[in-house]
Amino acid sequence: MRGNGLWAQLRRPPGGRDARIMLLAQGVDRTGTGVWAAASVLYFTYVCGMDAGRLGLLLGVGAVAGIIGSPLAGRAAERLSVRGLLTGCHLLRVATMALLLVVDDFTALLVSVALTCLAERGAKTLEMLFATRVAGERRATYQALFRSVANGGYAVGTGFAAIGLAVGTTTAYRVLIVANALSYLLAAALIRRTGEPAGRGLVTASPAAPVPSDGGETTAGAVPSPWRDRGYLLFVLLDLPMCLDDSVLNVGLPLWLIHHTDAPHAVVPVFLTLNTALVVLLQLRFSAWAERPRGAIRAVGWYGVTLFASCLLIALSTGGGPLTASLALLAAAALVTLAELMRSVSSWELAVSLAPPRARASYLGVAGMSQSVQKSVGPMLLTGVVMAAGPAGWLTLGAASTALAALQRRASLRRLASLEAPSAVPAEPVAVA
């Protein structure tokens, strides 16, 4: 690992001044996001008076809008300034948060939430592209720093939200919304202080430069589309189950503890605390271990094994008393976090490395859909299928994750080999304003 640890890396991140400002902006953004994540469901329920059906529809529409946001942002980034688009995403969220303060009509709230989720996922894709261009070959280190900053900011935001929720008045909820909007406004102001990363505009290569076709071979000509690249779409499809650790940690573990074990409910908040602490402490080390494409592919294989071990512990937690169940589930939470650390590095590194340089923005937009789809489907998969089947469901999920990780590893190696072949080496990209 380069440098002297987390703080030294934060002072001198890959990408220099612009990366340092962007990391600060992302920390501010995630602090506000933590505030809203902790308060949103209660706000819509108790302040807006929504029943479970309307709340479910609201969250479902938001999830679908989030899926659309990633490819839209990637496509736009091939033609427009990344910095400008990212600033626009934050300002759009400021407007949608302000809208919540003045409307109570369900249709208006539906539009507000959909636009918020669209801008949020678009911003994450643009942040990924910004880091790819600024940090270059050290993007894995930047990703580790970002995750450490984001988790710290998110924890601060949820802690701030807890104060407002404890007060519980309508005014307190509105203060939380204003705090969230101000975090987006400050993030936008910080981003305006950065320089536009290299690659502004449509990134193209020389006409003779070959790019991978949908069959993994190389062709020359027009800028390729990720939607016609079967090899890359296979990577994105297999990346979906690689994101299930998020639902396991935030949905599966708490519900399993409450409904299927004798562990005390006070253990539930410890899952998030343990996750946050491990991410902050270990993300840099994991990024160094899984750096570069082949390191990321190695991490994919270990992801499946680690998630299987976690699922095994969850399945075994039903057989003991409160102490045994608590220890088993806490160990499972630690393993899920280790799987998350591997996935966070491998998914991003491979999304960049397996994309042709001259169409990287649109490719990253498609790759960014994985987490949005998982957030929509993952909780339903766990509650409706895995947990309904009992311990056998967790064992099946673990075995399936291991098998799919092995398939992802093999497919990624094959595509990487085709990209590294002499006939597939692309020319240096040229930025066309």
Q: Of 308, 343, 352, 314, which Cα lies nearest the Cα of 331?
A: 314
Beta bridge partners of 430: 204
Alpha carbon distances (Å) from 221 to 145, 194, 347: 37, 34, 28
pLDDT of 415 strictly over 50: yes
**The pair of three-digit structure tokens given for residue 329, joined into one six-digit string:** 């589930």
Are 217 and 418 in contact by the 8 Å Cβ rule? The answer is yes
Helix (H, G, I), strand (E, B) or coil at 169: coil
What are the tens digits of pLDDT across the range 200-237? 433 333 333 344 544 444 444 456 788 888 889 999 99
Backbone angles phi, psi at 216, to 5 degrees: 90, -5
Percent of the chain scoring above 70 in pLDDT: 89
The values of phi and psi at residue 203, to 5°, are -90, 120
* pLDDT confidence of residue 426: 44
- Cβ atoms of 161 and 38 within 8 Å: the answer is yes
Write out the H or E segment, with its range, that includes residue 204. strand 202-204
Distance of CA 198 to the CA centre of its chain: 24
Looking at 261-390, list the stretches that DSSP marks H as alpha helix, in order from N- to C-terminal side.
268-289, 292-316, 322-353, 360-367, 369-381
In this predicted model, what pLDDT tens digit does every residue of 311-330 receive, in sequence order? 999 999 987 789 999 999 99
Q: Which of 101-105, 221-225, 357-361, 419-423 has the highest mean pLDDT?
A: 101-105
Task: Give CA–CA dist 28/180, Å, rounded.
Answer: 9
CB 300 within 8 A of CB 346: yes
* pLDDT for the residue 2: 45
- pLDDT of 137 reads 75
> Tell me, what's the pLDDT at 348?
81
Cβ density class 262-286: b for 16+ within 10 Å, e for less: ebeeebbeebbebbbebbbebbbeb
What backbone torsions phi and psi does residue 224 show, to the nearest 5 degrees?
A: -75, 155
Q: Which domains does the chain have, with CATH numbers?
A: 6-191 (1.20.1250.20), 202-432 (1.20.1250.20)
